[in-house]
Chains A and B, each alone.
Chain A
Amino acid sequence: MSGHAETLNKSLKREKQLHLFLGAGVILLFLLVWEAIGGFELVNPLFTSSPSRVVKAAILLVKDGTLLTHLTVSAKEFILGYAAALVIGVPIGIALGWFKGFSAAFGPMISAFYATPRVALMPLFIIWFGLGITSKIIVVLLSAIFPLIVNLQTGMTTIDRDLIMVARSYGASRWQIFRSIALPASVPFMVTGLRLAAGRALLGVIVAEVFGGSQGIGYLIQYAGATFQTDKVFVGVAVVATTGIILDRGLHRAGRYFDRWRGDTAVG
């Protein structure tokens, strides 16, 4: 590496460090101000809580096992609903994109369903499936399935025509084109779908539990709110936010692995 490139690299690194410092600084400042508002009683801490109170509440919830119980229930709903969405949504998306007839038959119906807010159907699900875990799984499933369907359908219908022409020129059958071109070409779309679906599924879990339930993080938030335990509300919110970030980052990483052929470094 030339000296020039090294200097450039160093200054890039320094800039990155500065950005990290700025980001962390703003968060720290926010926490300090929040603590001060509660600590100096500028506003009744009953409403605002404060970082130290939230931490205390979190420790308490962890110690008595409440948090784990609720988290387990929510995780179960999430995993089952998300997995079901994957198993059902991916084939539907592929079929919609690949078979014109299938798309003509079911496309409009699926679009209509997509436009309906799933939460609005929650009362029906409770009537049909009860207040237990099943009605929540259904909401999660219906929240997560559409991003998957829509993205895979898009992936299948936006395949590079030139690649299909190449395959055809080598005598590829429709099945061979599907396997060697359509499927790999839609992988990036599937990764995007999975990320969006994870976010929607998480939202589905919380909304379903807030709406009607007796367990789960959503219920914890709802119950704590109803009984003016703002500290606990914030604990619940923090748990949800953290989960969301971890899921999104994790899937982003996984997606980059499957997308590694899209690298942009050219040689020669």
Chain B
Amino acid sequence: MSKLNLQKKSVAPNVTGFPAQGGAGSNPGNVVQLPSHGSPSVEPLSKRETKLSVKEIVIGYHNKESGQMLLTVDRVSLDVKEGEIVSIVGLSGCGKSTFLYAIAGLVPAQGGEILVGGKKVTGPGSDRAMVFQKASLLPWRRILSNITYGLELNGVAAEAAEKKAHHYIDLIRLNGFEDHYPNQLSGGMQQRVNLARALACDPEVLLMDEPFAALDAITRELMQRELLTLCEKMGKTVLMVTHQIDEAVLLSDRVIVFSARPAQIIADIKITIPRPRGGVTKDSAEFRELETRIWSLIEANANIGGGI
């Protein structure tokens, strides 16, 4: 079905051949449709409610040898509005992934608090879902039941979960692969399943930990565009950690630059390139300028911090 549905939109050139989602008819009833970024009816970002709020968070761990507390994240505050896509960039080992894991509830924080939809985070919960750097699919499960895995753990009935999973299979263009095992899929395909598994849970905030870092350059480029289309279509609130500055600029409404460890925010840059960005070329002056600016911020910080 998806192959026939490759209608090209005039507004957003569909670079990846991503099937434009059909009308209400093709959308299973139980999938909530969030307003799309591009549509004019959506309120501007500044007026939307805050979905994720991180207040003065401190994350550290005890060094067993010295018995000292080593700070990873030092009093970082961050607000993400509904439907906003925010990326965090920084040197490797700066604590940005730890920060994300803390929001996911997988790493305890020593101070401050994290609120999702106004509720305090005390551990993992179904209001958040994480897309991991490694696809980490359960190898003994077929693709369909890998996508239902998160729903299953949240107690969703098998039938409802499968119905949802079919919808996301369509969305990530893996029709026909439902009954394959992860080992039979390429890295890019596996990563799409990883994404679908998280999306299927319909989280309030989608967390992504360098989702394309393990892919080859070509696949990564394609996946970025695919994710861009997907995000703009679904209007999800997204917090993403990445090493790729171009990826951050292309996808995000804001790019947060983290300092070297212990992580602090050194810049919060608004990306005003209009959406939908389907046709944005990474060679445009605006894009280049943003990239250079972010890169120089990171570079300056690397020198201060004593190098990489």
Interface positions of A (Cβ within 8 A of B)? 160, 162-163, 165-172, 176, 180-181, 184-185, 187, 260-268
Contact = CB atoms under 8 A, between A and B. Distances in A.
Contacts of B182: 261
6 contacts: A167-B153, A170-B201, A180-B152, A261-B183, A263-B183, A267-B185
Given A160-B136, A163-B136, A261-B139, A170 B154 contact: yes
B188 interface: yes
A262 B139 contact: yes
B125 interface: yes
B195 to A, nearest CB: 13
Contacts of B298: none
A260 to B, nearest CB: 8
B158 interface: no
Given A169-B104, A176-B153, 10 more contacts: A166-B132, A170-B153, A170-B154, A171-B124, A180-B153, A184-B138, A184-B141, A187-B140, A263-B183, A264-B183
B297 to A, nearest CB: 30
Given A170-B150, A268-B189, A181 B184 contact: no
Contacts of B128: 169
B106 interface: yes
Closest 10 A-B residue pairs measured CB to CB?
A268-B186, A170-B150, A162-B136, A261-B181, A170-B153, A169-B130, A171-B124, A261-B140, A184-B140, A172-B153
Contacts of A187: 140
Contacts of B149: 166, 170, 180
Contact of A181 (B138, B183, B185, B186): B138
B129 interface: yes
Contacts, number: 76
Contacts of B152: 180
Contact of B125 (A171, A176, A180): A171
Contacts of B106: 165, 168-169
B77 interface: no
B134 interface: yes
A263 B140 CA distance: 10
Contacts of A184: 138, 140-141
Interface in B106-146: 106, 123-126, 128-130, 132, 134, 136, 138-141
